Amino acid sequence: MQRPPLTFWHFVIYSLRIRRVEYRIAEIPILLIPVFLSITDIAVFGTWPFWEGVLIFFFLFTFGDLVNCLADRDLDAVYKPQLTEAVYGLGIKNVIAQAAFSGLAAVLLSIDLSWRTGRWFLLPGTLFGLLTAYAYSVPPLRLKGRGLWQLGFYWIGLFAAPMLFSAFVVSASPPWETYIVSLAYGLLQTGVLLVNTAEDYPEDERENVRTVIIALGLHRGLRGAVWLASAGAASLLAAFATTYWNRQVPRAGWFALVPLGAAAALVVISLGKLSRHIRAMNLPDAIAQVKKSGKWVPAWITAVALSSLLASIVAFIGRR
């Protein structure tokens, strides 16, 4: 059946849809948290290298989103039909062209950024990011279908590595707090993302995609999510508290950790309740309950992201 002509309006809507713009508000803190932990002067925000780094950061995430939507266009047909509609509405060649443009733009910008800053490791960092994003969704590696490798991609590839990349954009030698916060933040958010992965259990099993949840089993996988989120929450709060202590943040500034503590507690408690609730359920009922709880994942991720950003801003003010 011939596809109807693509209107300009549909081109815009479909292009935004496969870029998963609903996650951008949670990606901005991934960019800014390490920046605030690494800089000593807000003048950095007025420089071209910083904004060049911002463009590279979002081109990398865009590349990953486009490749993922393209690779999973048939897998998403049942539970995420809006993504399948967007891919086929634009046309496969069109989506490939958009992904190629994002990847090429990231590489060219990173070459210029490396030259301007003298930090030439930013270029291989960008290339590694593109390769990892591609390998996550596309055979033969397809990390999303290799069990615990998917877990590593979430923690390092989706959170910790992009955060450290942002830190090196603004600093040749980021402080140690940046590393600890990035790893702890990634661990906490990985626990949350496992709920999203668990939501896709039926279609992943049907298509023989061995995600970390398929590898561990739904019930054990969600127990793992609770442990990861708990360890990440404790580590993140401890990292920020140590940072505040070392930077002699005024007593009033410590109240910035209250929203982070509340957000982390909400996530851990919610995941714990979900895990306990499905413990005695059969698989179909457990999947239905996970899908019901999955609607809260964007809110949990965003709450942790924004409260962590607030904590990093106060850490920056304390350092000044």
Please, is 8 exposed, middle or buried when counting C-beta atoms within 10 Å of its C-beta (0-12, 13-18, 19+)?
exposed
Question: Which segments in the chain show pLDDT lower than 50?
Answer: 1
Least Cα distance to 229 among 262, 264, 274, 195 occurs for: 264
Helices (H), the chain: 8-17, 24-38, 48-71, 81-90, 92-117, 122-137, 148-152, 161-170, 176-199, 201-206, 212-216, 218-246, 257-277, 283-294, 297-319
Domain assignment present for residue 35? The answer is yes
Our count of domains for the chain comes to 1
Domain assignment present for residue 3? The answer is no
Encode pLDDT of 179-190 as tens digits: 999 999 999 999
pLDDT of 75: 80
- Is residue 134 within 8 Å of residue 146, measured between CB atoms? no
Domain assignment present for residue 1? The answer is no
Mean pLDDT of the chain: 93
pLDDT of 1: 42
Encode pLDDT of 271-311 as tens digits: 999 999 999 888 889 999 999 998 999 899 999 999 999 99
Encode pLDDT of 210-240 as tens digits: 999 999 999 999 999 999 999 999 999 999 9
Domain assignment present for residue 291? The answer is yes
pTM of the model: 0.93
User: Half-sphere exposure of residue 88, counting CA atoms within 13 Å on the CB side?
Assistant: 14
Domain assignment present for residue 2? The answer is no
| Number of C-beta neighbours around residue 122 at 10 A | 24
Instruction: Tell me the residue range of the domain where 297 lies.
Output: 8-319
Least Cα distance to 36 among 236, 240, 237 occurs for: 240
